[in-house]
Amino acid sequence: MCEAHYITLYMITVQYPQTYEVRYTFSGAWRENVCVHGDYNGPYRNGLTCAVVGTQQPWRCYDNYYLDDCCSTCRHIKDQKNNPDCPYGDHNHTCLSIEMSECENPELKKACCERCLGGGGPPIACPLGDLSSSCSIEKNWHCYSLEQRCCSSCLPYKTNISGCKYGDRASWCPNIPPSQCYQDDDLCCEHCNNLRINASDEYCQYGDRAVWCETMTAEQCYISSNAKECCVTCKAMFTGIEGFVDRIKLYRHALEILYSTGCEYGDKADFCQKDNFKPYECYSQESRCCARCAQLRINQTGCKYGDRQSGCAEIDCEDPIRHHACCYTCRNWRAKPAMGDIRVVAY
Apex 96 CA angle, 40 and 56, nearest 5: 20
Pick 59 or 334 by higher pLDDT. Answer: 59
d(CA 224, CA 206): 18
The answer to whether residues 171 and 139 touch, using CB atoms and an 8 Å cutoff, is: yes
Q: What are the distances in angstroms from CA 126 to CA 79, 145, 165?
A: 27, 16, 14
User: DSSP secondary-structure letter at 24?
Assistant: E
Mean per-residue pLDDT over the chain, rounded: 78
**pTM (2 d.p.):** 0.43
Q: What is the distance between the alpha carbons of residues 86 and 112, in angstroms, rounded to a whole number?
A: 9
Q: Domain limits of the chain? A: 10-89, 197-296
Q: Summarize pLDDT for 46-87 with one digit per residue, the tens.
A: 778 899 888 888 999 999 888 888 999 999 999 998 888 899
More confident residue, 207 or 291: 207
